[in-house]
Chains A and B, each alone.
Chain A
Amino acid sequence: MIQPKKRAMLGAVALGTLSAAAALLAGCSRKDEARPAAAPAPASAVTAAPAEPLKVAFIYVGPVGDAGWTFAHDQGRKAIEAKFGDRIRTTFVEKVPEGPDAERVIRDLVAQGNRLVFATSFGYMDAMEKVARDHPEVRFEHATGYKTSANLRVYEGRFYEDAFIAGVVAGSMTKSGTLGFVGSFPIPEVLRNVNAFTLGAQSVNPKVTTRVVWVNSWFDPPKESEAAQSLINQGADVLLQNTDSSAVLQTAEKNGKHAFGWDSDMSAFAPRAHLASCVLNWGVYYEKAVNDVLNGTWKTEVTKWGTKEGLTDFVKIADVVPADARARVDEIKAGLKAGTFQVFKGPILDNTGKEVLAAGAVADDAWKGGIAFFVKGIDGQVPTGK
């Protein structure tokens, strides 16, 4: 009598697993955005009838309502819609899981006639590469990746510039001398930020150390809160996160500590904890990319924009930040814009004491792309899985 019941339970567990997968699939909802009010048609008879609008698609890893990473990309999408009006038509698919599902979604978007496709998370890299190979007529743009081909190019922000500036503020605000960093995954993009954050803090307060917690997810607000709480419990009093929600900031607020907004302006979430926000204005790059396609000047490139181009910015500095720190922030921003200031400049030691960048040397993009270490002052070791 027992056997069938047990089997029924196993069935329940199996169904549960299946349904979790189904939920993920069903979770990717699609929204076709109506074009904004059509611009008045050009009256001149010389102008040819408006061509078919360029169809542009965006693939997002989170919900557009995450108030962080995906929200910032969607702001960029809205910016190009406003800018180009009738000449383009945008579509986005949100909450696309990184991995095999992404390929299905990208193929689907191509089949629907999109000729410019932006994939906005690192984990879409292999899927983009595969689909790009099969569709030479479509231009593919992948954020934060490194694989390129004739019709696949990559773009990213120099987020580490903001992370460094946040470090300067954190270093001048910390009382315990311990900073906390909530990381998503130990990939170069994120390691660069935690290193820049620590170097920034050490530039004003050489004794600062940073503790890092990895949550192995881009978006899991309760887990981000737990990670922030564990850092605070270990003595960290200024936190930065490289995850997509405002949970870390709100946990800092709850504990009377400080933190930063990341990806978008998060000052409203935690008026007392918020020191400043590191924001991304993707619109400036999306405008360039659409122009490249419309003008026929699109070519494979690796674009890395930051403070200078206006893709990243450090905004809403709180009143509690001392004046000398603000002055230093302005100085660094001006230096970045003029090209006279470098975030990664030797000598840089890793946290085992090994020199990773010689004195006086300036890091090139290959160096920045290959970061797999913690700089001196960060506790612990980069997880390698070995």
Chain B
Amino acid sequence: MNEIALLVAATLAAGTPLVIAGLGLLINERAGVVNLGAEGMMLIGALAGFAAAHHTGSDALAFVAAAAAGALASALFGWLVIWLNANQYATGLALSLFGSGFSAFVGIGYVGKKLAERPSYAIPGLSDIPLLGGALFRQHPMVYVAVALVAVAIWVLYRTRTGLVLRAIGESPESAHALGYPVRLIRLAAVTVGGALCGVAGAYLSVVYAPLWVEAMVAGRGWIALALTTFATWRPARLLLGAYLFGGVTMLQLHLQASGVQVASQFMSMLPYLAAIVVLVLISRNPAWIRVNMPASLGKPFLPGQ
């Protein structure tokens, strides 16, 4: 039973970067902008976070620095696609390539550096509850913050005027423009929030999870976060489930191996992706799900006054 608790704990830790990055991408896609640069922004955030943690010894400052770096990279992307109407897909790809190259270059000096001693994150009292304590209450604070962020995003998107305007812009920027909303600025804000969250997700990997900096260390998790937004049909709660599902299948295959279960490891490595494809197919079979939730202007440029 204790093994199951440890598996749950590992699943939450593995799913957290996907929750944070996926949520950021979901927010900017809700405003109608697709940012394929997730991988690059996560790498820039991972490096910024690692550098800040290395120099200051503070996790909090590391996440602030990572958010700022991610926001800056995405603001550049936002300016290109929202004001200059550059193609969102091509620009996003460029940002992804730029981010991995740039972080590798700037990060040369941080390869092989280590961070200061990590404190224990066990929550006094709660972490001593049998099973539940081990499963839920010995995590880095960021794991809980990720869940809180999803709750905040749900509240903002569906219960506030800001969320309504954001979704309206994603559905029909022309109408929102006609009503007098600053479509471009709001889109930029959404893109920047998305970038900041991707940066934080990257820093979670380099400061908490691994914790080390090497180039390309995000290893494709940005692309998985992008797939998760479709997987979740642009709903934050489904995104949370999807991220934990993906993290869970990843960890389950490692745990099964460690416990000596006789399945080919190559097959096990395939499982998380197989699960993602199966769910995507199931979702696509029901066009109503996509129709209802997919922002109608997703990926399309908006030219005011045309």
Contact = CB atoms under 8 A, between A and B. Distances in A.
A65 B254 contact: no
A186 B210 contact: no
Interface string B201-222: 0000100011110111111110
Given A19-B36, A229-B10, A246-B212, A214 B257 contact: yes
Contacts of A222: 205, 209-210, 217-219, 221
Interface stretch (A9-17, A49-57, A142-150, A322-330): A9-17
Nearest to B40: A23
Interface string A371-386: 0000000011101111
Interface string A229-244: 1110110100000000
A12 B112 contact: no
Contacts of B205: 222
B260 interface: yes
A269 B299 contact: no
B108 interface: yes
A310 B265 CA distance: 34
Interface in A304-344: none
Interface stretch (B74-82, B141-149, B290-298): B290-298
Given A65-B112, A223-B219, A385-B266, A213 B254 contact: yes
B227 A221 contact: no
B212 A221 contact: yes
Nearest to A379: B260
A12 B254 contact: no
Interface in A234-278: 234, 236, 245-247, 250, 254, 268-270
Contacts of B296: 5
Contacts of A19: 36, 93, 96-97
B15 to A, nearest CB: 11
Given A15-B93, A250-B212, A269-B212, A234 B258 contact: yes
Nearest to A178: B258
B214 A221 contact: yes
Nearest to B105: A29
Contacts of B263: 383
Contacts of B269: 214-216
A180 interface: yes
A111 to B, nearest CB: 25
A interface, size bucket: 35 or more
B111 interface: yes
A63 B298 contact: no
A220 B219 contact: yes
A222 B10 CA distance: 12
Interface residues of B, number: 61
A180 B258 contact: yes
B177 interface: no
Contacts of B34: 12
Contact of A16 (B223, B259, B291): B223
B45 to A, nearest CB: 14
B283 to A, nearest CB: 11
Contacts of A379: 259-260
Contact of A5 (B217, B254, B298): B298
A230 B260 CA distance: 12
B194 to A, nearest CB: 15
B125 interface: no
B7 A233 contact: yes
A211 interface: yes
Given A230-B10, A230-B251, A380 B261 contact: yes
A26 interface: yes
A49 B210 CA distance: 53
A19 to B, nearest CB: 4
B63 to A, nearest CB: 17
B226 interface: yes
B275 to A, nearest CB: 16
A226 interface: yes
The list of the 10 closest CB pairs from A to B, nearest first, reads: A379-B260, A214-B265, A65-B111, A380-B260, A233-B6, A230-B254, A19-B93, A383-B264, A383-B265, A234-B258
Interface of A: 2, 5-6, 8-9, 11-13, 15-16, 19-20, 22-23, 26-27, 29, 63, 65-67, 95, 180, 186, 211-216, 219-223, 225-227, 229-231, 233-234, 236, 245-247, 250, 254, 268-270, 379-381, 383-386
28 contacts: A2-B290, A5-B298, A8-B298, A16-B36, A19-B93, A23-B96, A23-B97, A63-B214, A63-B215, A65-B215, A67-B214, A213-B258, A216-B265, A220-B219, A222-B205, A222-B209, A222-B210, A222-B218, A225-B209, A229-B10, A233-B3, A234-B259, A247-B210, A268-B112, A268-B114, A269-B212, A379-B260, A380-B262
Interface of B: 3, 6-7, 10, 14, 34, 36, 39, 89, 93, 96-97, 100-101, 104, 108, 111-112, 114, 118, 205, 209-212, 214-221, 223, 226-227, 230, 250-251, 254-255, 257-267, 269, 287, 290-291, 294, 296, 298-300
